[in-house]
């Protein structure tokens, strides 16, 4: 991974996740690329509406204002637009005073190949195939799902994670899927002192933890939560894994199979990452949600 940004948390986001491009995308689908380009150029001085991931990006960049001498967050735009049609996107970034200065406009091709070059810890996109390719390259990535939720009232950046196949590998989930709950519970009890293998979002969580460590607990602009279907006694292996990683999770909610949605709304998550599509579809009615197409649930 590139080290061009030193100790910064680097997040890449697609233009359609950051802004609402539904109108221009409809032009592209119905009338083709030429009409789309003409539409974008004709409207390039008209700011785009905020997209589903906009509030998350806004809160990420706000952290830099608390660390003025050593800004710790870099957000990079990755887009399938050309630079010509992408001018409207940069104009919108300037309109909203977002501190985003770096971008890759890929002229119709997937921008995922630049995720590693920029040294990104996280890639967010509405294009599921780009997300899968980034995950295959070892980068945390999620497909941003359409959501009608309003921005969280919390001034903190609040990020919630599922456990298995997101923070951790899917090794335990494979047992659950193939052999059932009893076998899963037996295995997790027997393996309680053996840390789970690393999942796709571990490096991103670790980078978040590094920034959190620069603040006192009562004054931290970031709050994290693990919201998992696990329950006792399978919770112990999770707790010991995070302890082994020396990573702090502010809140851990072990639901034993209960629906996660109400708990996510109570936490006021700015985004929730989960590998299972059914959980994501339920969650997006309450909070912004990113589907992580990793692990056995997505084979």
Residue 84 falls in the annotated catalytic set? no
Looking at the DSSP bridge assignments, the partners of residue 75 are 11
Residue linked to tokens 């709304």: 265
What's the CA gap between 45 and 224, in Å, rounded?
Answer: 37
- The CA-based angle 21-25-30, given to 5 degrees, is 155
d(CA 284, CA 149): 8
Active-site position among 162, 170, 270, 274:
162
Q: Exposed/middle/buried for 166, CB within 10 Å: 0-12, 13-18, 19+?
A: buried
Beta bridge partners of 159: 224, 271
Question: Strand, coil or helix: what is 9?
Answer: strand
Just list the catalytic residues. Answer: 162
């Amino acid at each position: 991974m590139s080290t061009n940004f030193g100790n910064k948390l680097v997040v890449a986001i697609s233009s359609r996740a950051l802004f609402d491009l539904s109108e221009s995308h409809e032009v592209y689908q119905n009338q083709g690329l030429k009409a789309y380009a003409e539409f974008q150029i004709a409207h390039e001085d008209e700011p785009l509406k905020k997209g589903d991931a906009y509030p998350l990006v806004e809160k990420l960049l706000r952290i830099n204002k608390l660390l003025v001498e050593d800004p710790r967050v870099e957000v990079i735009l990755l887009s399938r637009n050309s630079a010509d049609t992408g001018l409207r996107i940069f104009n919108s970034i300037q309109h909203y005073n977002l501190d985003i200065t770096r971008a890759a406009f890929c002229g119709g091709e997937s921008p995922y190949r630049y995720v590693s070059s920029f040294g990104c810890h996280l890639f967010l996109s509405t294009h599921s195939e780009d997300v899968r390719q980034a995950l295959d390259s070892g980068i945390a990535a999620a497909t941003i799902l359409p959501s009608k939720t309003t921005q969280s009232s919390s001034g903190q950046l609040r990020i919630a994670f599922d456990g298995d196949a997101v923070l951790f590998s899917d090794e335990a989930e494979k047992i659950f899927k193939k052999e059932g709950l009893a076998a899963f519970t037996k295995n997790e009890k027997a393996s309680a002192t053996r840390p789970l293998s690393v999942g796709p979002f571990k490096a991103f969580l670790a980078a978040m933890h590094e920034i959190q460590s620069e603040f006192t607990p009562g004054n931290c602009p970031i709050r994290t939560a693990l919201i998992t279907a696990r329950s006792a006694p399978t919770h112990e292996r999770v707790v010991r894994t995070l302890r082994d990683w020396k990573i702090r999770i502010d809140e851990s909610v072990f639901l034993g199979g209960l629906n996660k949605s109400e708990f996510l709304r109570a936490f006021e998550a700015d985004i929730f990452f989960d590998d299972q599509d059914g959980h994501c579809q339920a969650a997006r009615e309450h909070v912004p949600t990113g589907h992580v197409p990793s692990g056995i649930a997505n084979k």
